Amino acid sequence: MKFLSAGKSDKGVSRQNNEDNFCVDEDLRLFIVADGMGGAAAGEVASRMAVEIIRDYIKRSSALGGAGNEPFVGGYDKKFSEASNRIASGIRLANQAIYEASQSNVKWRGMGTTVAAALLDGSKMSIAHAGDSRIYLIRTSSIIQLTDDHSIVSEQVKSGLLTKEEAEGSEVRNIITRALGTTLSMDIDIDEIDLMDGDRVVLCSDGLTTMVSDNVILSTVAASDEPGSACGALIDIANKNGGKDNITVALVYLFEDRTFLKKIKNLFR
Ligand code: CA
């Protein structure tokens, strides 16, 4: 499967700093969005550490960077492929490093970051995440959220205490229940997707999803056959809708034949 990819981050309209970070590495076929939190500049440190440590780990364990015999971190889950175990290992390694950094420097105490990561291996995509950054799959004319937010409201929706609409208006909407850097070991959600010709994968921070509905994400991504311009268009819409938080988007367009992308675009004209 061939692909086109792009990523973009913007601090939004009302924040002074951008605490999000991302990685779009076409050689490694690795895509990451991380949304940092913590006082002063600590959130930015945590999200940057996450992106750099995961990327370095994947590079060292790939044919491109090292011999591929890098040890797995936190064990090997046989239910999943080697690629999925690699991405989970990279996230666990980043978690440990951010936790240790936050314990060793008082400026960084309490810092943490979400992570949403995807590693492409042929027509399979391994995804892993912690926190409320999301990964969506856009297939033909539907959008499917592949990740479950690790947040208080998401858990309340799952247990039937809140409706999805009530959750969107909740004051505690931003409080997440899982973040890298807050405990020495953590659970990582892992999933594997079989991709099809024309699929599009969206990774994003909550600065996009709190400002732009899933349907608008779908129509905006589907209307462009160029992922870089679609990233820019999504950020523009988030800012027009208020831009209350940092906004980060990474897009991967899968295809066997480039003309297929144009055909999909024409459907949405
Ligand atoms: Ca955010």
The answer to whether residue 235 scores a pLDDT higher than 80 is yes
Give residue 248's identity as a one-letter amino acid code.
T
Q: CA–CA distance from 67 to each of 57, 60, 122, 142 (Å)?
A: 12, 7, 20, 40
Kindly give the distance from the C-alpha atom of residue 206 to the centroid of ligand 1, in angstroms, as a whole number.
Answer: 5
Kindly give the distance from the C-alpha atom of residue 15 to the centroid of ligand 1, in angstroms, as a whole number.
Answer: 10
* 83 backbone dihedrals φ, ψ, rounded to 5°: -60, -40
Tell me: the pLDDT tens digits for 174-197?
889 999 999 999 999 999 999 999
Q: Who's near 54: CB < 8 A, 6+ residues apart?
A: 23, 30, 32, 87, 90, 91, 93, 94, 115, 117
Strands (E), the chain: 2-10, 20-25, 30-37, 112-113, 115-121, 124-130, 134-139, 142-145, 189-194, 200-204, 247-255
Kindly give the distance from the C-alpha atom of residue 244 to the centroid of ligand 1, in angstroms, as a whole number.
Answer: 9
Kindly give the distance from the C-alpha atom of residue 116 to the centroid of ligand 1, in angstroms, as a whole number.
Answer: 13
Whether the CB-CB separation of 108 and 36 falls below 8 Å is answered with no
Kindly give the distance from the C-alpha atom of residue 37 to the centroid of ligand 1, in angstroms, as a whole number.
Answer: 8
Kindly give the distance from the C-alpha atom of residue 153 to the centroid of ligand 1, in angstroms, as a whole number.
Answer: 15
| 11/194 Cα distance (integer angstroms) | 33
Q: Are strands 134-139 and 112-113 parallel, antiparallel or unpaired?
A: unpaired
The answer to whether residue 167 scores a pLDDT higher than 90 is no
Kindly give the distance from the C-alpha atom of residue 75 to the centroid of ligand 1, in angstroms, as a whole number.
Answer: 30
Kindly give the distance from the C-alpha atom of residue 30 to the centroid of ligand 1, in angstroms, as a whole number.
Answer: 21
- Average confidence score pLDDT of the chain: 92
For 189, the 3-state DSSP assignment is: strand
Please name each of the domains of the chain with its CATH number. 2-268 (3.60.40.10)
Mean pLDDT along residues 227-240: 98
Kindly give the distance from the C-alpha atom of residue 114 to the centroid of ligand 1, in angstroms, as a whole number.
Answer: 9
Kindly give the distance from the C-alpha atom of residue 79 to the centroid of ligand 1, in angstroms, as a whole number.
Answer: 32
Mean pLDDT along residues 5-24: 97
Q: Indicate the Cα dihedral angle 148, 211, 156, 39, nearest 10°.
A: 90
| 225/78 Cα distance (integer angstroms) | 37
| 131/35 Cα distance (integer angstroms) | 9
Kindly give the distance from the C-alpha atom of residue 34 to the centroid of ligand 1, in angstroms, as a whole number.
Answer: 9
- DSSP helix, strand, coil percent of the chain (3-state; round to 5): 35, 25, 40
Q: Which residue has the higher pLDDT, 147 or 39?
A: 147
Whether the CB-CB separation of 220 and 234 falls below 8 Å is answered with yes
Predicted confidence at residue 68, as pLDDT, reads 63
Q: Who's near 240: CB < 8 A, 6+ residues apart?
A: none
Kindly give the distance from the C-alpha atom of residue 207 to the centroid of ligand 1, in angstroms, as a whole number.
Answer: 5
Tell me: the pLDDT tens digits for 88-100?
999 999 999 999 9
Mean pLDDT along residues 156-169: 87
Of 83, 114, 88, nearest in space to 193 by CA: 83
Q: What is the 3-state secondary structure (H, E, C) of 207-242?
A: HHHCCCCHHHHHHHHHCCCCHHHHHHHHHHHHHHCC
Kindly give the distance from the C-alpha atom of residue 112 to the centroid of ligand 1, in angstroms, as a whole number.
Answer: 12
* CA angle (242, 249, 238) in 5-degree steps: 15
Joined together, the tokens standing for residue 38 give: 């913590």
What percent of the chain is predicted at pLDDT more than 70? 93
Of 97, 13, 83, nearest in space to 48 by CA: 97
Kindly give the distance from the C-alpha atom of residue 138 to the centroid of ligand 1, in angstroms, as a whole number.
Answer: 22
